[in-house]
């Protein structure tokens, strides 16, 4: 939908094959995810009970659908004509839905699968929401400062396309501060977790230190 030719150094699906193929690949992957969760024993050695599978399908279909990723993408497409182009709250809403919901449910699904307690799940959801938003702020920064060779796509395309971004609204320096604060808050949220949470802390730090 953003009509980019490249993603991570490779041709995008609609460029390499066709628009119809890209649309159908999306439909197929969205649909097949639920097929796998309904019969995980065909793919994985360890898998949750029936009640947990239903809960995972319920949460993931909500995050991906009309009140999640799809709504976020729709708002993003509409943002070019929106009166809220300079509204930071609106931009946060777009990203909380477009990428945040899927990142959050990815973390939540792991916790649900091992029957974690409610307090743990709540903390993980807050953690994931913050790293999800930081991921998008970092993306916006990389689009300005990133090395096209490492990124695998042209830099500066957001500005050229007049895209609604964090640097465009609050500036580059404030965007960097904001991303750092989100990551600090995310790590603080899970501060009482033991050493098994080391990978979660590493992922949080990676998000704002990556170069692509």
Tell me which residues touch its own copies (CB under 8 A): 1, 18, 20-21, 23-24, 26-28, 30-32, 34-35, 37-39, 50-51, 53-55, 57-58, 61-62, 64-66, 70, 73-74, 77
Closer to its own copies by CB, 59 or 176: give it. Answer: 59
Closer to its own copies by CB, 109 or 144: give it. Answer: 109
CB 209, min distance to its own copies, A:
32
Closest CA to 167 of 182, 183, 156, 152: 156
C-alpha span between 92 and 84 (Å, rounded): 12
CB 79, min distance to its own copies, A:
12
CB 208, min distance to its own copies, A:
29
Q: How many residues does the chain have?
A: 212
Closer to its own copies by CB, 64 or 155: give it. Answer: 64
C-alpha span between 145 and 210 (Å, rounded): 12
C-alpha span between 57 and 34 (Å, rounded): 7
C-alpha span between 50 and 73 (Å, rounded): 31
Which two three-digit tokens encode residue 74? 């729709």
**Residues 189 and 126 sit within 8 Å (Cβ to Cβ):** yes
Closest CA to 63 of 119, 112, 24: 112
CB 182, min distance to its own copies, A:
27
CB 21, min distance to its own copies, A:
7
Looking at residue 6, the DSSP 8-state letter turns out to be E
Closer to its own copies by CB, 22 or 197: give it. Answer: 22
Closer to its own copies by CB, 32 or 210: give it. Answer: 32
Closer to its own copies by CB, 48 or 129: give it. Answer: 48
Which two three-digit tokens encode residue 192? 């009482």
CB 179, min distance to its own copies, A:
28
């Amino acid at each position: 939908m953003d009509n980019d030719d490249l993603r991570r150094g490779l041709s995008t699906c609609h460029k390499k094959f066709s628009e119809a193929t890209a649309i159908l690949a999306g439909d197929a992957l969205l649909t097949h995810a639920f097929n796998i969760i309904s019969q995980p024993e065909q793919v994985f050695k360890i898998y949750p009970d029936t009640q947990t599978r239903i809960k995972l399908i319920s949460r993931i279909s909500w995050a991906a659908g009309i009140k999640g990723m799809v709504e976020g993408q729709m708002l993003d497409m509409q943002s070019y004509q929106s009166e809220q182009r300079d509204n930071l709250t609106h931009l946060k809403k777009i990203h909380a839905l477009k990428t945040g919901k899927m990142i959050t449910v990815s973390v939540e699904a792991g916790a649900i699968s091992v029957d974690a307690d409610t307090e743990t799940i709540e903390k993980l959801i807050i953690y994931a929401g913050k790293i999800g938003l930081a991921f998008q702020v970092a993306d916006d920064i990389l689009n300005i400062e990133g090395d096209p060779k490492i990124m695998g796509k042209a830099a500066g395309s957001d500005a050229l396309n007049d895209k609604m971004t964090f640097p465009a609204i609050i500036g580059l320096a404030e965007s960097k501060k904001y991303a750092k604060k989100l990551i600090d808050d995310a790590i603080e949220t899970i501060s009482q977790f033991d050493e098994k949470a080391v990978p979660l802390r590493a992922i949080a730090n990676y998000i704002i230190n990556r170069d692509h």
